[in-house]
Amino acid sequence: MNLIDIGANLTHQSFSHDFDAVVEKAKNAGLAHVILTGTDLETSTDSSNLAKSQACYFSSTAGFHPHVAASCSEKDIEEIRKLASNGEVVAVGETGLDYNRNYSPRKDQLKVFEQHLEIATELAKPVFLHQRDAHEDFIDLLKKYRPKLCGGVVHCFTDNGKALEDYLELDMYIGITGWVCDQRRGQSLQQLVSRIPPERLLVETDAPYLLPRSLRPKPKSRRNEPRFLGEVIRVIAEHTGRDMEQLAAETSHNAIELFSLKLS
């Protein structure tokens, strides 16, 4: 399978000692391309530099995760705008709202989220979105900007059927992670995944987070890696009755379309 991981945090410190080996294992597992997630200025810059140096295999995003919205200055936003204008940066984000933990005050999250949406419309690039327990405020802002956005993905979707319907009505893509492989907390998602149209489904690991619990044998480390993306595909196939090869082809096509990826 030629898979595309649309969201991996490979600039995370847990990969600093064996980054090259992780990439080699990903390639051997059928990963054709990986989009590196930027969650603040440092990771966005590092991801951009990696994508620039290995353009055939990596692309990146640039943005501020809602957890760090309170520390995001106007200068920081301008730096993200500059980064996002680079060719290797294929989306604005990770951005959005997280009322589950509220690491940043809601007013700061809303302000920074809207600033990212404005950047995306200016640069005509898709958005890479995060939403936890904030659907109403999130969908209101997304609806406001959707006519001017060229598209986007609700990354690591774990919400309910109503939220899914709202995002699909806005022609957003839906990113599915190893959450769907978790028999404890992923049962609702397992039931919903068949409602995602083939042309709107994307897959991601969110590495090093969300290691698929269904992996057999389980890796010694709890660290997730892009090479485990095939397990996400396998579980989606199990709960949709669709063929794994078909899912791989469809999700890779969708990623190429949304992010305007050039793989050769």
pLDDT confidence of 1, banded at 50, 70, 90?
Answer: confident
Report the distance separating Cα 112 and Cα 72, nearest Å: 8
Q: Which residue has the higher pLDDT, 220 or 205?
A: 205
The whole-number pLDDT of residue 162 equals 98
pTM: 0.97
Report the distance separating Cα 108 and Cα 98, nearest Å: 11
Question: Rounded mean pLDDT of 241-249?
Answer: 97
Note the CATH architecture for domain 3-259: Alpha-Beta Barrel (3.20)
Q: What mean pLDDT is reported for the chain? A: 97
Q: Where are the domains of the chain?
A: 3-259
The whole-number pLDDT of residue 134 equals 97
pLDDT confidence of 41, banded at 50, 70, 90?
Answer: very high
Question: Rounded mean pLDDT of 50-67?
Answer: 97
Confidence check: pLDDT of 7 > 90: yes
Report the distance separating Cα 207 and Cα 14, nearest Å: 10
pLDDT tens-digit profile of 177-187? Answer: 999 999 999 99
The whole-number pLDDT of residue 51 equals 97
Residue 218 DSSP label: P
**Residue-level length of the chain:** 264
User: Are the C-beta atoms of 200 and 251 separated by less than 8 Å?
Assistant: no
The whole-number pLDDT of residue 140 equals 98
pLDDT confidence of 205, banded at 50, 70, 90?
Answer: very high
The rounded percent of the chain whose pLDDT value lies above 90 is: 96
Question: Rounded mean pLDDT of 63-77?
Answer: 97
The whole-number pLDDT of residue 263 equals 86
Report the distance separating Cα 131 and Cα 37, nearest Å: 15
pLDDT tens-digit profile of 72-120? Answer: 999 999 999 999 999 999 999 999 999 998 999 999 999 999 999 999 9
Question: Rounded mean pLDDT of 228-244?
Answer: 98
Confidence check: pLDDT of 264 > 80: no
The whole-number pLDDT of residue 55 equals 93
Report the distance separating Cα 3 and Cα 250, nearest Å: 10
Report the distance separating Cα 39 and Cα 2, nearest Å: 26
Q: Of 132, 48, 62, nearest to 98 (Cα)?
A: 132
Q: Identity (one letter) of the amino acid at 152?
A: G
Residue 70 DSSP label: G
